[in-house]
Amino acid sequence: MIGGQDGGKREMTKFLLGVLVGLLICFFFVWFGGGKTVKKLGENLYETGKRMEVMEEKVKKEKDDVWGEMKSGVKKKILKDEKETQKKSQ
């Protein structure tokens, strides 16, 4: 049966189960500190964000240093190869 009573019972059961789960979540949220818990989590996330920013800056600096060394090393190798080629051709 399409749209029969069996479908309606399942939908009602799912709805009531969702309401029950929502009430349990609210209860446990209040039971375990509510606003204090959210505030503490927010402070910890803020501190973690600051630490991540510092780490990102260090990684970027190291990357730039390594990239700069690689570029200068490649340039030195090219110049060295050019000098050797010129010496061989003379």
What confidence tens digit (pLDDT) does each residue in 8-52 have? Answer: 888 999 999 999 999 999 888 888 888 888 788 889 999 999 999
> Which residues contact residue 1 at a Cβ distance below 8 angstroms, ignoring those fewer than 6 apart?
7
42-67 pLDDT, tens digit per residue, is 899 999 999 999 999 988 888 887 77
Q: 81 and 42 in one domain?
A: yes
Q: Please give the residue range of the domain that contains residue 52.
A: 35-90
Q: 42 and 19 in one domain?
A: no
As for how many domains the chain has, the answer is: 2
Could you tell me the pTM of the whole model?
0.42
Q: 79 and 51 in one domain?
A: yes
Q: 47 and 20 in one domain?
A: no
> Which residues contact residue 40 at a Cβ distance below 8 angstroms, ignoring those fewer than 6 apart?
33
Q: 21 and 61 in one domain?
A: no
